[in-house]
Structure 1
Amino acid sequence: MIEIGPFIKLQRTKQEMTQGDLAEGIVSLSYLSKIENKKTEASPEIIQLLCNRLGIELSESVDSNLEQKCKQWYEMLYDVYDKTKIIATYKELQGMMDKSINDNLLMFEIHKIRYYLVLRQIDKALSKINELNELVSSFNSIHHYYWCKFKGNYYSHTGEFNEAMRLYKIAEDKLNQVDVEETEIADLHYIISVTNSKLRNTLEVIDYANKAMDVFQKNYNFIRCAQCHILLGISYSRIKMYDKAIKNYNLAKHLGELEKNNQVIQLTNHNLGYLYATIGNSEKAIKFYLFVVEDKEESVSINNRMTAITNLIQEYYNIKNYDRANEMIEKARVILNKVKDKNNHYFQLYSYLVQTYTYALNNEEEKFKSFVTDEFIPYLKHHEDYGNLVLYGEMLGEYFESRGKYKESVKYYKLANSTYNELINL
Structure 2
Amino acid sequence: MIQHIGNTIKYYRLKLNMTQSELAKGIISVSYLSKIENGYVEPSREIVELLCKKLNIIWSDKEDKQIFEWCNKWFKALFHKNIQETCTHFKQIEDNMSLIANNGLLNLIEIHKLRYLLLKDKNKAKEQYNKLKEILNLFNEREMYYWLKFSGYYYLTNFFYLKSLNNFLAAENYLEHSFYMEFEEKYHLHYMIGLSASFAKKSHLAFEYTRKALDHYQKDYKLKEAAKCHILLGYTFLQMNGFKQALKNYQTAKKIANHINNKKLLMKSVQRIGDLYSKLNKPQEALEYYLKSYELQASSNTKTLVPILSLIKEHYKKHDIAKAKKWLEKGIELLAEAQVETIYLYELKVYEQLIKGIKLSFDKLILHEIIPFLDERKLYDKKIIMLQLLADYYFDNRKYKLAASYYNYALQIKNKLEMDRDNIYEIVSHME
Kindly tell me: are residues 377 and 39 of structure 1, through their superposed partners in 2, closer, same or farther at Cα, counting changes over 3 Å?
farther
1:351, CA displacement in angstroms? 2.6
Counterpart amino acid of residue 34 in structure 1: N
CA-to-partner distance for each residue in 1:112-150, whole Å, 9 max, x for gaps?
Answer: 11112122x123333333333444333222211111111
1:402, CA displacement in angstroms? 6.0
Partner of 1:156: 156
Contact 1:276 1:284 in 2 (8 A): yes
CA-to-partner distance for each residue in 1:16-52, whole Å, 9 max, x for gaps?
Answer: xxxxxxxxxxxxxxxx8334x756325555544478x
Counterpart amino acid of residue 270 in structure 1: Q
Q: What are the within-5 Å matches in structure 2 for residues 249-268 of structure 1?
A: 249-268=250-269
For 2:98 and 2:359, locate their aligned partners in 1 and report how far apart those are by CA, in whole Å.
60
For 2:87 and 2:229, locate their aligned partners in 1 and report how far apart those are by CA, in whole Å.
29
Q: What are the within-5 Å matches in structure 2 for residues 6-405 of structure 1?
A: 7-8=11-12, 33-35=16-18, 40-42=22-24, 43=27, 44=47, 47-49=51-53, 56-59=58-61, 63-81=64-82, 83-100=83-100, 101-119=102-120, 121-175=121-175, 181-295=182-296, 297=298, 299=300, 301-303=302-304, 306-340=305-339, 347-364=341-358, 366-401=360-395
1:245, CA displacement in angstroms? 0.7
For 1:139 and 1:363, locate their aligned partners in 2 and report how far apart those are by CA, in whole Å.
54
Counterpart amino acid of residue 278 in structure 2: A
Normalising by structure 2, report the TM-score.
Answer: 0.81
Partner secondary structure for residue 319 of structure 2? coil
Identity %: 26
Counterpart amino acid of residue 139 in structure 1: F
Contact 2:264 2:297 in 1 (8 A): no
Counterpart amino acid of residue 272 in structure 1: I
Counterpart amino acid of residue 360 in structure 1: L
Partner of 1:408: 402
- Uncovered stretches (5+) of structure 1, i.e. residues with no partner: 11-31, 341-345
Partner secondary structure for residue 41 of structure 1? helix
Kindly tell me: are residues 95 and 50 of structure 1, through their superposed partners in 2, closer, same or farther at Cα, counting changes over 3 Å?
farther
Counterpart amino acid of residue 323 in structure 1: A
Counterpart amino acid of residue 184 in structure 1: E
For 2:257 and 2:147, locate their aligned partners in 1 and report how far apart those are by CA, in whole Å.
32
Counterpart amino acid of residue 158 in structure 1: N
Kindly tell me: are residues 39 and 107 of structure 1, through their superposed partners in 2, closer, same or farther at Cα, counting changes over 3 Å?
farther
Contact 1:77 1:115 in 2 (8 A): yes
Partner of 2:424: none
For 1:47 and 1:298, locate their aligned partners in 2 and report how far apart those are by CA, in whole Å.
58
Contact 1:142 1:178 in 2 (8 A): yes
For 1:398 and 1:39, locate their aligned partners in 2 and report how far apart those are by CA, in whole Å.
69
Partner of 1:4: 8
1:398, CA displacement in angstroms? 4.3
Contact 2:267 2:292 in 1 (8 A): yes
Partner of 2:430: none
Kindly tell me: are residues 123 and 38 of structure 1, through their superposed partners in 2, closer, same or farther at Cα, counting changes over 3 Å?
farther
1:417 to 397, 411, 421: 411
- Uncovered stretches (5+) of structure 2, i.e. residues with no partner: 28-46, 422-432
Contact 1:196 1:202 in 2 (8 A): yes
For 1:260 and 1:39, locate their aligned partners in 2 and report how far apart those are by CA, in whole Å.
62
Backbone CA RMSD of aligned residues? 2.9
1:68, CA displacement in angstroms? 3.9
- Bigger mean CA offset, 259-268 vs 109-118: 109-118
Counterpart amino acid of residue 41 in structure 1: L
Kindly tell me: are residues 353 and 126 of structure 1, through their superposed partners in 2, closer, same or farther at Cα, counting changes over 3 Å?
closer
Alignment coverage as a number of residue pairs: 392
Partner secondary structure for residue 40 of structure 1? helix
